[in-house]
Amino acid sequence: MSFTTRCHMQLIKFLRKLKKRFIRYEPSVEVIISKEKLVSNLKEYQKQYPKLSFAPVLKSNAYGHGLVPVAKILEKENIAFFVVDSLYEAMVLRSEGIKSEVLIIGYVNSENIRNAKLSGIVFTVISLEQLQEIAKVKLPKLRIHLKIDTGMHRQGILLNQIEEAIKIIKTNTFIELKGICSHFADADSSGEMFTKLQIQQWEKAVNLFKNNFQTIKYYHLTNTAGIFYSHQAYCNVARLGIGLYGINTSSFVKLNLKPVLEIQSVISSIKVVPVGECVGYNATYKADKPIKVANVPVGFFEGVDIRLSSCGYFKVGGVDCPIVGRVSMNITSIDITSLPSVKLGDKVTVISSDSNDNNSVENIVRLTQTIPYEILVHIPQHLRRTVV
């Protein structure tokens, strides 16, 4: 076990002891994860695409939902393998007792590959240069998926490099090619032309590898939005990311998906702001009538997008309460004038799991003119994830 791995394991043990010491701690901000909705979303894809296996994507803290809690829920389901971005994420899963096969889809340098002693871990090779470097390591056994560049030109081996890649793998028998993969660049668009061009490139690559390797187990090209195209391409696994968490990014398919995540907080203070007075930094909001303002101990550090300043909403008692003034680092002010009975400690829904709510991820995306991934992955890791 490497020094880095030992340090990580010691840190995990320390954090577990710390957690036990503060077990009675009740946070003022909490991320609620619905087990039922998470499993339901997976089964919805399995029902709609019965010929595919699914690999849940857990990178970037499971899109903000919590790497370990999500893995513990889904490990009991029928999945192909988990997908993470880094060796660190794989280490965390193993340290928490997750036993499912894990594919690291991001770049890992050859030294870390050599030192990694985790079982059931598969590495993605993202370039010919990386493959050449790995061939020099000479491990007893190394299982890989090879990424093919079908047109996105971000990662992957180009089609004219495939013959060289095949030669390297065949020459270095310690390398076991378990899968090949690629990635759609534009599958969530209403236009199909670029995606179909990528599929053509993919099919050429698949034929080359099928003619040279009989034991490749996994062929995966599609992300969540790209699953719509799975019947047009040779693939047996789909990497299920944003759709798993209840957000449908496909322009063509409408599934019965349920947002998995909700963020809850509390009212931390209440005051009346007279007409003509301002709220928050830089006096960006001025009251045109007397209003009652409540403060909530969440801000852009806790994942409230600053672009929601004076245009977003939180919910209190099922009622939309407009954000007034700028979102601060750890505080957001809301107008509760219409709720005279609100008191200190009352629950506030910061991000709603109901797609129809103004503070759902989908509607936050509309207000901020961004993408759902950005909203979700900016929910910080330190916030407690509670599975219900």
CATH of the domain at 310: 2.40.37.10
Q: Which of 331, 325, 243 is nearest to 284 (CA)?
A: 325
Backbone angles phi, psi at 302, to 5 degrees: -90, 10
Domain around 310: 261-352+354-387
Pair 100, 198 in one domain: yes
154: CATH: 3.20.20.10
Q: Mark whether 25 is an active-site residue.
A: no
How many whole angstroms separate alpha carbon 10 and alpha carbon 85?
22
Same domain, 241 and 271: no
Sheet architecture: strand order including 319-322: 319-322, 313-316, 347-351, 261-266, 30-33, 384-387
- Condensed to tens digits (0 to 9), the pLDDT of residues 31-52 reads 999 999 999 999 999 999 999 9
Q: Does 71 fall in a domain?
A: yes
Task: Answer yes or no: is 2 within a domain.
Answer: no
- How do residues 50-61 score in pLDDT, each as one tens digit? 999 999 999 999
In the prediction, which pLDDT does 18 show? 64
Q: Give me the number of domains the chain comprises.
A: 2
23 pLDDT band, cuts 50/70/90, is low
The percent of residues in the chain predicted with pLDDT above 90, rounded, is 83
User: Are 236 and 278 found together in one domain?
Assistant: no
pLDDT of residue 22: 58
pLDDT digits (tens, 9 = 90+) for 182-221: 999 988 888 899 999 999 999 999 999 999 998 999 999 9
- Residues 49, 54, 59, 63, Cα dihedral to 10°: 40
Average pLDDT, the chain: 93
Per-residue pLDDT for 86 more than 70? yes
Alpha-helix runs per DSSP H in 174-241: 193-212
CA dihedral for 238, 243, 249, 250, sign (positive or negative): positive
Q: How confident is the model at residue 249 (pLDDT cuts 50, 70, 90)?
A: confident
Three-class SS of residue 240? strand
Between 2 and 133, the higher pLDDT residue:
133
Q: Using a cut of 0.85, tell me whether the model's pTM lies above it.
A: yes
pLDDT of 292-340, one tens digit each?
A: 999 999 999 999 999 999 999 999 999 999 999 999 999 999 999 999 8
67-74 vs 35-48: helix crossing angle, rounded to 10: 60
- Catalytic, out of 45, 281, 313, 373: 281
Q: Is residue 148 part of a domain?
A: yes
Which of 178, 210, 245 is a domain's end point?
Answer: 245
Quick: pLDDT tens for 135-171: 988 788 999 999 999 999 999 999 999 999 999 999 9
